[in-house]
Chain A
Amino acid sequence: MTTIIVIYSLLAICLAWSLLKSRQKTKQSFKVAAMALWKMAPGLLAIVGMVGLILGILPPERITQLVGEEAGFLATATAAVLGAVTLIPALISFPLAASLLRSGATVTTIAAFITTLVMVGFVTAPMEIKALGKKFTLLRNGLSFIAALIIAGLMGVILG
């Protein structure tokens, strides 16, 4: 909800400013936006489909089963991979992580899950490649995955 309010207020301010300065340029901005949206539409729709599919096959309860009761490196690795391939809105992922913690998952596992979830995007990679290039995408996601494992390990040592 805050997100929506912030975006629309930002848009209203910028749009008002733009309209005051130049109608023509404002129109042009809309044209640019429409073209970009049309270009990105297949990718965005594919993301919607993939998110649904993944969460349909792997509902939160199933994820709990997969990484909840187990401990050790395997659980952490599984959590990291699950975080990388799934795309769960942050507001759902934190309660999920908390329930994982309650059902016996270690801090390391939870940290790996949350960190890859926010930093690595397998489903969104095609879109990232389109906007930022293949090399950028592969390096950013690959390094983020490694970083997530290191962060998870450190957090386990410090908090565990």
Chain B
Amino acid sequence: MNLIKKFKAPLLLVLIYLVLAILWPEISGRSAKVAIDYLREMALIIPPVFVLMGLLEVWVPKEKIKKLIGTGSGLKGFFFSFLMGTLPTGPLYIAFPMAGTLLQKGAKVSNVVIFLGAWAAIKIPQLLVEAEFLGLSFTALRFGLTLTAVIVIGFILERLIKAEELPELQAGSNIPGRTFGGSRKSRPLVN
């Protein structure tokens, strides 16, 4: 019963697909094809990303994240967040749990926005495709303007959001015996 409740959104969608299949089989056929292609892509990308997230959670101590991209990390924190985001690592929704973990480990709100913004809009392989189809001047201009916008939005959110308004630790928060890296030798695994 709980399982049905947990998966109510996907189940509802399956129902919609079934109704569509009866009423407009053309649409449902197209939709199913897209959905299956997408599922295949996700099945390849999601497991490694979640394992990386698990490694980050277990190995990288909170103080390290705080020092790297927390309050007072300054320009270094900005560049580090930006670089993490530009790694070619798949669609944006995968970055949300990652960003959540970073926030809970003491990352600055503005740096998390920059991380997400870079992840979404400023990926290097993506820029190459964009330049090929839409031209270099379009791509360069969009890159510059988007980067500016992401930085501004980051600063606005930083001002408006207080720590209490962020969600509580989610992934693996209640794992018994969890210890953070502790040793000074542990390095961040994300770069």
Q: Which residues of A contact B (CB under 8 A)?
A: 2-4, 6-8, 10-11, 14-15, 17-18, 21, 25-26, 28-37, 39-53, 55-57, 59, 87, 89-91, 94-95, 97-98, 101, 107, 110-111, 114-115, 118-119, 121, 124, 126-128, 130-133, 135-136, 139-140, 143-144, 147-148, 150-151, 154-155, 158-159
Contact = CB atoms under 8 A, between A and B. Distances in A.
A106 B121 CA distance: 21
A116 to B, nearest CB: 10
A26 B51 CA distance: 10
Instruction: Categorize the interface residue count of chain B.
Output: 35 or more
A90 B123 contact: yes
7 contacts: A28-B58, A29-B55, A33-B54, A52-B36, A89-B91, A119-B117, A131-B167
A4 B138 CA distance: 27
Interface of B: 6-10, 13-14, 16-17, 20, 27-36, 38-39, 41-42, 44-55, 57-59, 87-93, 96-97, 99-100, 103, 109, 112-113, 116-117, 120-121, 123, 125-126, 129-130, 132-134, 137-138, 141-142, 145-146, 149-150, 152-153, 156-157, 160-161, 165-167, 170-172, 175, 178, 186, 189
Contacts of A135: 160-161, 165
B45 A4 contact: yes
Closest CB pairs A-B (n = 7): A56-B31, A52-B35, A49-B13, A33-B54, A131-B100, A32-B172, A36-B171
A121 B138 contact: no
Given A28-B178, A32-B57, A3 B125 contact: yes
A14 B121 contact: no
Contacts of B149: 119, 144, 147-148, 150-151
Contacts of A28: 54, 58, 175, 178
Nearest to B28: A56
A50 B13 contact: yes
Chain B contact surface mostly: helix
A127 B16 CA distance: 21
Contacts of B138: 107, 110-111, 155, 159
Given A42-B9, A91-B129, A101-B134, A32 B171 contact: yes
A89 B42 CA distance: 11
Contacts of A89: 38, 41, 91
A23 to B, nearest CB: 12
